[in-house]
Amino acid sequence: MARDADRTRKRLLEAAAAEFAAYGIAGARVDRIAEAAGCNKAMIYAYFGNKDKLFDAVFSAQVADVLKHVPFDATDLPSYAGRLLDRYEDDPATLRLATWYRLERPQGAPLQAVVASNQVKLEKLERAQRDGILPGRYSPVELLTLVLSISQAWASMTPELGLNAPADRERRRHTVVDAVQRLLKDD
């Protein structure tokens, strides 16, 4: 029976995403990934080269998936922030992988998927500011940083503070959307 390379690669990426989300890059173990995917470790090295390249593939796929399911709209940043909050709450691995990436790769070689995603967003923000749709008080990178930070505020708080967070998701979402709306108001 011929091996289904695409299916094997997909199983490895799914198992690796769960492993990296739980343990980070340094803590992830290829033997656990291989076992969860129903493969042997040699397949990981054959498809991806090493654990770091496997993480890069996982994180790049995650970036593409977020772009597909949470499209960026520079003309409606409050709704974008609300959709990001939904993503973080529906799939906590999204933010966990991004956090591990930031923690463990602060000086690493940039991933093309991240560079491209940021570049598109920054260009759209610059265009929206130039067209007068968005205020210009913050540069595009400042504005994007603030919107992203607000959207992940509930998911990134300490557990102790989280005990006091609104239990109602709609309230948390409203807070995020409202905060971004206020950020964009002209003084």
Which tokens hold the place of 120?
A: 């598109």
Q: Which domains does the chain have, with CATH numbers?
A: 1-54 (1.10.10.60), 70-184 (1.10.357.10)
What's the pLDDT tens digit per position in 93-102?
999 999 999 9
* Alpha-carbon 175 to chain mean position: 20
Which tokens hold the place of 29?
A: 């173990």
What pLDDT does 187 receive? 58
What's the pLDDT tens digit per position in 38-66?
999 999 999 999 999 999 999 999 999 99
What's the pLDDT tens digit per position in 6-40?
899 999 999 999 999 999 999 999 999 999 999 99
- Torsion sign over Cα 168, 172, 173, 177: positive
Q: Which residue has the tokens 């529906």?
A: 90
